[in-house]
Amino acid sequence: MISFDFEYYRPQSITNAADIFQTLEESGKNPVFYAGGTEIISMARMSSITTGAVIDVKEIPKLKAMEFNGDDLVIGAGVTLTQIHEANLFPLLAQACARVADHTIQNKITLGGNLCGTIIYREAVLPLLLTNAYLVIASVKNARRVPINEVFSKRMQLNRGELLVQVHIPRNYVSCPYVHVKRTKEDKIHYPLLTVCALLTDNQVRAAFSGLVNFPFRSIEMEEALNDINLTLEQRVEQALNKLPATVPDNLEGSAGYRTFILKHLLTSIVNELETGNVTNS
Amino acid sequence: MLQILNESLIELHINGEIRKALARPSDTLLFFLRERLGLTGAKPGCENGDCGACTVLVDGWPVKSCLMLAAEAIGHEVTTIEGLDKVPIQQAFVDKFAFQCGYCTPGFIMNCQGLINIHPDASDEVIHEWLQSNICRCTSYQEIMEAIRSVLPSQ
């Protein structure tokens, strides 16, 4: 049970959502955009957040889109992880979505919620980082289409009142050979000790990670090391490990040494699988 | 634009009927079902989306009602365990002894019913994937697996 009161709004258009956000903001309601709502409800129940109004955006038509349009696969921010998995239009993203939380909660979590939430893992972002996806972001002032790498740095860098509307994934990436691996400490349903998404494009391996450090990331420096054909595979992996963007944490989920041990072996097998064309996903 | 500013009479489609009751905008669907409508089949467990005891169907898909606002359900079809009328999975739970204390049973049955409706051709891998959303403290997992296998046409 949520112990405090808030107002509920369900706008039918982006303009309507942006306008009502501004109005509520100006009246001191501290509104939040609400899609799947799993994180907001959990945190509200614990009184970790308070708000005077939630704006439920997931039924706005543009946020429900999921289709190929021209050179892009367009997925609305209100599409659930289950819908992405079931449609399987981009298998790497479908697999990443199918390993977030559990199946029933995937029926509620949206792509936008996974990207914009406060839980640090945000595993759905990994395939988007690898494919140079674009994000459509709207506010009361305008709508803009920006490369994900300009907006996602450790977490989504949205301004107050901005709403993630859609993700546009270049079509040429959706059928690239890929590997998705998630390792957890215990059960299958758990936060990742380490999740790796990798794909092969133009004979180059790209890789993005969650759980390894305190934010999801793709590292161009690590990829350059992994793709250095002048070195042995073992040397390439060692070079990549030296280019991690942050210190690997020691915590109850796993020691830094254990995470690094898993990473080293996963990178070796993933690069080998992609380069030899012998891909087995897990 | 739908808006609910304070405690108001809301109208939901539940188990094939239109049900009206007062709700705060911040009431979860679980709270609304149990405390406002007296539909106590959906059980409060963790109330954090972990245990699955509160699972109901929304437009045919299993959803943890502790992680959904009652207001969100406006315009959607909600089915609770009270809305199932002697469907095969209920008898299968009896036949396979798929419960002990029974507290998790409504949630498991609703999840199973969702799977039966949406993926009647489910493989063991898919069944496992779906059932991992619910926890049985009495560890009747094997019997629950046998129950759902016994009613899936593909099995």
pLDDT recorded at residue A186: 78
Average pLDDT of the residues in A41-48: 95
pLDDT > 60? residue A229: yes
Q: What pLDDT band is residue A185 in, cutting at 50, 70 and 90?
A: confident
**Does residue A114 sit in the same domain as residue A161?**
yes
Bridge partners (DSSP) listed for residue B20: B11
pLDDT recorded at residue A1: 87
pLDDT recorded at residue B154: 75
Contacts of B66 in chain A (CB under 8 A): 41
Residue (of A157, A182, A174, A36) closest to A99 by Cα position:
A182
Given A128, A152, A173, which residue is the final one in a domain? A173
Q: What pLDDT band is residue A50 in, cutting at 50, 70 and 90?
A: very high
Provide the domain count of chain A: 3
Question: Of A6, A41, A54, which has the smallest distance from its Cβ to B67's Cβ?
Answer: A41
What is the location of CATH 3.10.20.30 in chain B? 9-83
Contact status of A38 with chain B (Cβ, < 8 Å): yes
Residue A266 domain-assigned?
A: yes
Closest-CA distance of chain B to residue A131, Å? 28
Residue A1 domain-assigned?
A: no
Taking CB atoms and an 8 Å limit, are B63 and A104 in contact across chains?
Answer: yes
For the domain that residue A212 is a member of, what is the CATH number? 3.30.390.50
**Does residue A70 sit in the same domain as residue A161?**
yes
Residue (of B62, B108, B81, B51) closest to A107 by Cα position:
B62
pLDDT > 90? residue A252: no
Taking CB atoms and an 8 Å limit, are A103 and B132 in contact across chains?
Answer: yes
Q: What pLDDT band is residue A192 in, cutting at 50, 70 and 90?
A: confident
pLDDT > 60? residue A74: yes
% of residues, chain B, pLDDT over 90: 97
pLDDT in tens, A122-166: 999 999 999 999 999 999 989 999 999 999 999 999 999 999 999
**Does residue A71 sit in the same domain as residue A159?**
yes
For the domain that residue A140 is a member of, what is the CATH number? 3.30.465.10
pLDDT recorded at residue A280: 64
Residue A38 lies in domain: 7-56
The CATH code of domain B88-151 reads 1.10.150.120
Contact status of B125 with chain A (Cβ, < 8 Å): no
List all residues of chain B from 77 to 96 with a beta carbon under 8 Å from chain A: none
Contacts of B1 in chain A (CB under 8 A): 9-12, 16, 20
Residue A241 domain-assigned?
A: yes
Contact status of B111 with chain A (Cβ, < 8 Å): yes
pLDDT in tens, A102-129: 999 999 999 999 999 999 899 999 999 9
pLDDT recorded at residue A267: 97
Contacts of A9 in chain B (CB under 8 A): 1-3
% of residues, chain A, pLDDT over 70: 99
Contacts of B62 in chain A (CB under 8 A): 103-104, 107
pLDDT > 60? residue B51: yes
Taking CB atoms and an 8 Å limit, are B67 and A37 in contact across chains?
Answer: yes
**Does residue A71 sit in the same domain as residue A168?**
yes
pLDDT recorded at residue A251: 87
% of residues, chain B, pLDDT over 70: 99
What is the location of CATH 1.10.150.120 in chain B? 88-151
pLDDT in tens, B65-118: 999 999 999 999 999 999 999 999 999 999 999 999 999 999 999 999 999 999
> Is the full-model pTM beyond 0.80?
yes
**Does residue A37 sit in the same domain as residue A79?**
no
Q: Which two tokens stand for residue B23?
A: 């709700």
Secondary structure of chain B as H, E, C letters: CEEECCCEEEEEEECCEEEEEEECCCCEHHHHHHHHCCCCCCCCCCCCCCCCCCEEEECCEEEEHHHCECHHHCCCEEECHHHCCCCHHHHHHHHCCCCCCCCCHHHHHHHHHHHHHHCCCCCHHHHHHHHCCCCCCCCCHHHHHHHHHHHCCCC
Average pLDDT of the residues in B4-22: 98
Contact status of A21 with chain B (Cβ, < 8 Å): no
pLDDT recorded at residue A188: 77
pLDDT recorded at residue A26: 97
Contacts of A45 in chain B (CB under 8 A): 47-48
Query: Which has the higher per-residue pLDDT, A254 or A54?
Result: A54
Q: Which two tokens stand for residue A123?
A: 């595993």
For the domain that residue A45 is a member of, what is the CATH number? 3.30.43
Contact status of B115 with chain A (Cβ, < 8 Å): no
Contact status of A104 with chain B (Cβ, < 8 Å): yes
Residue of A nearest to B28 (CA): A1
Taking CB atoms and an 8 Å limit, are B49 and A5 in contact across chains?
Answer: no
Query: Which has the higher per-residue pLDDT, A279 or B114?
Result: B114
Contact status of A250 with chain B (Cβ, < 8 Å): no
pLDDT recorded at residue A237: 97
Which residue has 């479908």 as its token pair? A94
Question: Of B27, B67, B134, which has the smallest distance from its Cβ to A38's Cβ?
Answer: B67
Architecture of domain B9-83: Roll (3.10)
Q: What pLDDT band is residue B125 in, cutting at 50, 70 and 90?
A: very high
Taking CB atoms and an 8 Å limit, are A42 and B6 in contact across chains?
Answer: no
Average pLDDT of the residues in A54-60: 97
Average pLDDT across chain A, whole number: 95
Residue A281 domain-assigned?
A: no
